[in-house]
Structure 1
Amino acid sequence: MAFAGYAPGRVNLIGEHIDYNGGMVLPAALSIGLEVELAPRTDGVVTVAADSYDEVARRSIDDGANGHWSDPAVGAVREARALGLVDGGASLTIRSTIPQGSGLSSSAALIVAILKAARDAGQGTQGDVELAVAARRVENDYMGVPCGIMDQMAVAVAAPGTAIALDTESLDYEIAVLPQSHDFVVLHSGVTRKLADGRYKERKLECDRAKAFFGTANLCSLEPEDIAGSALEEPYRSRALHCATEHRRVLAALAAIKAGDIGTLAGAMAQSHASMRDDFAVSLPPIDALVADAMTMGADGARLTGGGFGGCIVALVDKGAREDWLGSVLAAHPDARFVASV
């Protein structure tokens, strides 16, 4: 018997690289997503068939991560076994509408969808927040990706078309209703990214160095002025400064959304991109050019979204101007493509 699990992709509207530094983030669930069918097995084998790959992977549940595309699936089944939801392995069939390498949390969606299917298979009582925490363990401990909790919480809890204002330190959250006058449009830059390529881990280690200097596990709680005036050397000071200022931009953006203040929201997005480019150094020239043209051609706000080094931008666009804007931007950037909107 097969059990189904689903998780959406997500776009982070604002609040980048602070979910592992104690900050507030504001991701939104997308209409695109990932569906899994899971059939439990008793032989300790994990088979993975995905519409993005021609091969059917056949792995032992005891295999370590080895960089294969099936690693997130194997890790998720291992975690499901640890939770008592499956006894052995599983046969998985995966269908996804999330572009790979887009920074829209395809790996988190896959792991959460598998865990949700396993919960049904094992008649588990775990809540969605507990599954999100388990999914993070898969990425941190099994795959070696030092990510925070944002992606897993967003795809486990939020519904498409809503945003989740998440305190990543306490896991307290509220669902935010997005402006009716504007769309958040997600465009893929054409530059593919992978979290496992080492640069994400490098930024995590740089933040850890800053935490050790200031004696805190929460860089976002520090005052930006104290960071800027500190004796911490570069680039660690700039990394910490991004975290502290980005956290405050999320709070400002959330207040602006509640007040219907598009100008303040757009300004926070633009400042976020500048900080990711200059202080956190995760943008690339093609991304910067796409963000700049998105703004010049009529978006109120635009920024790189996701871990950086490629992937997607998100732009805040008036609904009435969206189609003309989209045509102009894509004509100027032929490698870019429309992915989704919120």
Structure 2
Amino acid sequence: MLEPTDLTARAISELRTRFGTEAAVTGRAPGRVNLIGEHTDYNAGLVLPVALPHATYAAAAPRTDGVIRITSAQEPEPFTGHVDELGPEIEGWAAYVAGVLWTLREAGLVSGGLDMHLESSVPLGAGLSSSASVECATAVAALGAAGRTLDADLQRAIVDAGIRAETEVADAPTGGMDQSVAVFAEAGGALLIDFDSGEHHSVPLALGERTILVTDTRVKHQLTDGGYASRRAQCEKAAADLGLSSLREADLEQVETLGDEVVRRRARHIVTETARVEPTVTALGEGDWASISELFAASHASMRDDFEISVVELDLAVSTAVEAGADGARMTGGGFGGSIVSILPSEAVETVTAAIDRAFAEAGHNPPGHLIATPSAGASYTAC
């Protein structure tokens, strides 16, 4: 992974090379890995994500003519438009960037044109929230270029802008966890978010000689292919059949009365997964790795069997990590591919990664990728 200073410098240099303009600000927003609480955000549940050191960097310069020009190191084609033409019909990768500028303009937070270039170290399609990282980096850079100071209200507006861009423009449903942690995360901790009350706070992690390891199976997932939407619809049906506003209000006894067997299993995952979050917070705070092992194992089994969002590569990575010395491992993210998260003794990182690499090779899978998830801070911008 390139260092943040290298990516910032590259973003500034590319803005100058491509557009002949000097950056006024650079924005940064991280990717994330969710420690536990999968698919619970849109069910008014609890989640416990960590912001990654891997992030998107946006160099931006304001324009006075209303023109918007955006390029990305990850995309071959630039986006060019005008502020008066922005709207929910934006297509392709620009939906996540120009879509954010549209939502910020709709909220009265930005008004003028902009030149912007994006660089990112967040793996694409790995279930590590590369899209929210792009959205929030775009937002903080645009707000910084507009001379606005980030405060609690503006942070909330950034989260809302990212959610709107992803759901209304990119047509990729999101529960809001990714944007929330990208903005509100604090270095050194996880972010406990309650999607019923809307409250969130940083949770200290007693990792000591432990490391959070993320393994990308390189099986690409897409949130627009229907799998996510169908799970969400099934959860909404379960709540409606129980006469509840959300599955946060349900208990297991109620869930077992549901007549549709598939809907019942989907609801069972949500209820049990939400119930695992607070014990995980306690275990991480106390360094109780035996409990982490049990909680992660139960979470993965629930996603595999009840929610049916795992794949063979994820299952293999999880079982191999545990057998090779991880305290606990589970799939993370939306599912249907992507990554697993493991907590393990720091001295075991090389052993575990080598074991997973070997298991994938023997099974004929593509080589996985690995990264260390050092808990990092949320979005910010810096004046150039």
Q: Which 5+ residue runs of structure 2 have no aligned equivalent?
A: 1-22, 362-366, 375-384
* Candidates 245, 267, 273, aligned match of 1:240: 267
2:238 is aligned with what amino acid? A
Q: Distance in 1 between matches of 2:132 and 2:106?
A: 18
Q: 1:321 matched to which residue of 2?
A: 348
SS of residue in 1 equivalent to 2:42: coil
Q: Distance in 1 between matches of 2:178 and 2:59?
A: 21
TM-score (norm 2): 0.84
1:81–1:130: structure 2 CA closer, same or farther, 3 Å change rule? closer
Q: Distance in 2 between matches of 1:41 and 1:284?
A: 47
2:368 is aligned with what amino acid? A
1:221 CA drift (Å): 2.7
| Partners of 2:87 and 2:102 within 8 A in 1 | no
1:44 CA drift (Å): 4.7
| Partners of 1:213 and 1:232 within 8 A in 2 | no
Q: 2:372 matched to which residue of 1?
A: 340
| Partners of 1:210 and 1:232 within 8 A in 2 | no
TM-score (norm 1): 0.94
Q: Spell out, residue by residue over 1:117-143, the C-alpha distance to the aligned partner (whole angstroms, 9 max, x if none).
A: 222223335432332123212212222
1:277 aligns with 2:304: yes
Q: Which 5+ residue runs of structure 1 have no aligned equivalent?
A: none
Q: 2:225 matched to which residue of 1?
A: 197
Q: 2:236 matched to which residue of 1?
A: 208
| Partners of 1:85 and 1:121 within 8 A in 2 | no
1:165 is aligned with what amino acid? L
1:2 aligns with 2:24: yes
Q: Spell out, residue by residue over 1:44-95, the C-alpha distance to the aligned partner (whole angstroms, 9 max, x if none).
A: 5432211112332324542544651221001111012122232244322001
* Candidates 21, 26, 50, aligned match of 1:28: 50
1:341–1:65: structure 2 CA closer, same or farther, 3 Å change rule? same
After the TM superposition, list the runs of 4 or more consecutive aligned residues in structure 1 that deviate by more than 6 angstroms: none
SS of residue in 1 equivalent to 2:135: helix
1:340 CA drift (Å): 2.9
Q: 2:115 matched to which residue of 1?
A: 91
Q: 2:364 matched to which residue of 1?
A: none
Q: Distance in 1 between matches of 2:189 and 2:81?
A: 37
1:247–1:3: structure 2 CA closer, same or farther, 3 Å change rule? same
| Partners of 1:8 and 1:160 within 8 A in 2 | no
* Candidates 50, 60, 68, aligned match of 1:38: 60
Q: 1:231 matched to which residue of 2?
A: 258
| Partners of 2:162 and 2:179 within 8 A in 1 | yes
1:135 is aligned with what amino acid? G
Percent of aligned pairs sharing the same letter: 36
Q: Distance in 2 between matches of 1:56 and 1:2?
A: 20
